[in-house]
Amino acid sequence: MHQTLSLRGSKLPGKVASALVAATLLIAAPAAHAQALTGAGATFINPIMSKWIAAYKASTGVEVNYQPIGSGGGINALISKTVDFCCSDVPMNGGEEAQVGAPTINIPDIVGAVVVSYSVPGVGPGIALNGKTIADIFEGKITYWDDPEITRLSPGTKFPHENILVVHRSDGSGTTAIFTGYLSKVSGTWKETVGAGKSVSWPVGLGAKGNPGVAGYLKNKPYSIGYVELAYAIQNDIPYAKIKNKSGVTIYPSDESAAVAAEGIKVPANLKLDINDSPNKEAYPIVGVSNLIVRVEWQKNAEVKKFVKWILTEGQKSEFTGPLHYSPLPEKVRAKALEAVAKIH
């Protein structure tokens, strides 16, 4: 027959009772500590990150809090040591790594398309654009929707003679880095005058914070055009363009055409990938790889390591990626990423 030991009202010697209480607290402390991981960064990844976090908590009981404040904000949070990990759609540069003051690891986690969305009354989804035309619109050289450079790419579509309202990100953004990185590859003028990065000096347009902010503008401002991660365009029912790729094929953005952009890519030792403007004929041209960035050493890295490993295994399954229109990492990239996770301690 088993008996239950209760300390309340017991007549155990004081030292014995105190020792039992201390032992109980020591046993409970690690479990409580494991219930909190904090991350911040890209809005690009937030739809699937939210789903990952819910599934991870259901599976492990571990709570992860993620703030979608933009890639730049996430990197700043990692530098200031207010988060356990950050997410960015572009890897940290050398200056940012130096500011962290400790070694970091860049770990790719998912592939996604950045789409050129628009809101033009009477014009449906799937207009065709090319890189030069997109660059000219965002540079302010093309200012009307019925400009010949636009209309010739979508024969049969009647465009109104209305001013184009350009919408871009106002915060430090990995989505912006992907988009401007693409424009810098397809337009020499853009590369020389504006360039690529998480923040650029925009020639024209209105700024909005985060992918949700840009999507909100596009949904409510007629004759607008902007760029968002594919999931945000679909969730908000905003039309988006098909774009001519490097091989001259006009491709509609999807999780499948984004995945093709990552096929056959060379994986550098630092895992800093650039899959924009892929030469693959079936690839959509504006595609990025989101990254988890962690310190090699950190007090919560035992839990961080488990979470990142889960993302690279369970989190890559179609039940997570498919409904939100992301693409899993190519197997070669995933294998290298898992090797990098082993270095976390």
For residue 116 the two structure tokens come to 């050129």
- pLDDT tens digits along 184-221: 999 999 999 999 999 999 999 999 999 999 999 999 99
- pLDDT tens digits along 124-168: 999 999 999 999 999 999 999 999 999 999 999 999 999 999 999
Q: Which residues pair with 16 in a beta bridge?
A: none
Domain count, the chain: 2
Residues 150 and 238 in one domain: yes
Range of the domain at 91: 36-109+289-341
CB 240 within 8 A of CB 201: no
Q: Does residue 99 lie in a domain region?
A: yes
Q: Does residue 67 lie in a domain region?
A: yes
- pLDDT tens digits along 277-306: 999 999 999 999 999 999 999 999 999 999
Which pLDDT does position 263 carry in this prediction? 92
Residues 121 and 219 in one domain: yes
For residue 341 the two structure tokens come to 């996770």
Residues 153 and 254 in one domain: yes
Residues 87 and 181 in one domain: no
Q: Does residue 271 lie in a domain region?
A: no
Q: Does residue 79 lie in a domain region?
A: yes
Residues 293 and 157 in one domain: no
Q: Pairing mode, if any, of strands 64-67 and 37-41?
A: parallel
pTM exceeds 0.85: yes
Which pLDDT does position 35 carry in this prediction? 59
Q: Token pair 């990952």 is at which residue?
A: 52
CATH for 216: 3.40.190.10
Q: Is residue 23 pLDDT above 60, yes or no?
A: no
Question: Once rounded to an integer, what is the mean pLDDT over residues 83-97?
Answer: 95
CB 262 within 8 A of CB 333: yes
Please identify, among 245, 261, 277, the residue that sits at the C-terminal boundary of a domain: 261
Q: Is residue 8 pLDDT above 70, yes or no?
A: no
Q: Residues near 321 by Cβ (< 8 Å), separated by ≥ 6?
A: 48, 110, 255, 327, 328
- pLDDT tens digits along 25-38: 333 444 444 558 99
Q: Does residue 268 lie in a domain region?
A: no
Quickly list DSSP for 112-175. EEEEEEEE-TT--S--EE-HHHHHHHHTTS--BTT-HHHHTTSTT----S-B-EEEEE-S--HH
